Structure 1
Amino acid sequence: MKIILIGKGGHSKVIKDMIDLQPSLEIVGYLDQKYPTASWQDGVFYGPMTAASSFTEDVKFVIAVGDNQIRKRIYIDLKMKENRFATIIHPTAIISPSAKIGYGTVIMASVVIQADAIIGAHTIINTAAVIEHDNVIANYAHISPQATLTGTVSIEEGVHIGAGAIVIPGIHIGAWSIIGAGATVIHNLPSLCTAVGVPARLLDNMEE
Structure 2
Amino acid sequence: MKIYLLGAANPETMRMILAIQRALPNQEFAFLDNDPAKQGTLFHGLPVVGGLDRVAELKGDDVRFVNLITGSTTTRYQTTCRIVEAGGQLGNFIHPSIDLTMTSMGTGNYLQEGVILQAEVSIGDNSSIHMGALIAHESHVGNSVFIAHGVSVSGCCEIGDGTFIGTNASILPRIRIGRWATIGAGAVVTKDVPDYAVVVGNPGKIIKSNPDSFQDGRVFK
Mark yes or no: TM-score above 0.5. yes
TM-score using structure 2 length: 0.82
Distance in 2 separating the partners of 1:115 and 1:15: 26
- Counterpart in 1 of 2:158? 154
Comparing 44-53 with 123-132, greater Cα deviation is found at 44-53
Contact preservation (8 Å) 1:183, 1:200: yes
Contact preservation (8 Å) 1:148, 1:165: yes
| 1:5 matches 2:5 | yes
User: Which of 100, 105, 108 is 2:104 aligned to?
Assistant: 100
In structure 2, what residue type is equivalent to 1:19? I
In structure 1, what residue type is equivalent to 2:160? E
| 1:179 matches 2:183 | yes
Distance in 2 separating the partners of 1:185 and 1:130: 15
Distance in 2 separating the partners of 1:38 and 1:184: 41
User: Which of 14, 21, 28 is 1:26 aligned to?
Assistant: 28
Q: CA deviation at 1:20?
A: 1.8
For 1:22, what is the secondary structure of its paired residue? helix
Structure 1 residues 199 and 86: CA distance shift in structure 2, 3 A: same
Distance in 1 separating the partners of 2:134 and 2:46: 37
Distance in 1 separating the partners of 2:102 and 2:68: 26
Distance in 1 separating the partners of 2:38 and 2:9: 18
- Counterpart in 2 of 1:35? 36
In structure 2, what residue type is equivalent to 1:4? Y
Matches within 5 A, 1:39-78: 39=40, 44-55=47-58, 56-66=60-70, 67-78=72-83
For 2:76, what is the secondary structure of its paired residue? helix
In structure 2, what residue type is equivalent to 1:94? D
- Counterpart in 2 of 1:86? 91
Corresponding residue pairs, total: 199
- Counterpart in 2 of 1:120? 124
In structure 2, what residue type is equivalent to 1:15? T
Structure 1 unaligned segments of length 5 or more: list them. none
Q: Percent identity?
A: 27
| 1:144 matches 2:148 | yes
Contact preservation (8 Å) 1:124, 1:142: yes
TM-score using structure 1 length: 0.87
Q: CA deviation at 1:176?
A: 0.9
| 1:55-103 CA-partner distances (Å, limit 9, x unpaired) | 2221111111112111111122221568x211121123233x2211221
Distance in 2 separating the partners of 1:9 and 1:22: 19
User: In angstroms, what is the RMSD of aligned CA positions?
Assistant: 2.1
Q: CA deviation at 1:202?
A: 0.8
For 1:146, what is the secondary structure of its paired residue? coil
Structure 1 residues 133 and 33: CA distance shift in structure 2, 3 A: same
Contact preservation (8 Å) 2:55, 2:87: no
| 1:129 matches 2:133 | yes
Contact preservation (8 Å) 1:93, 1:109: yes
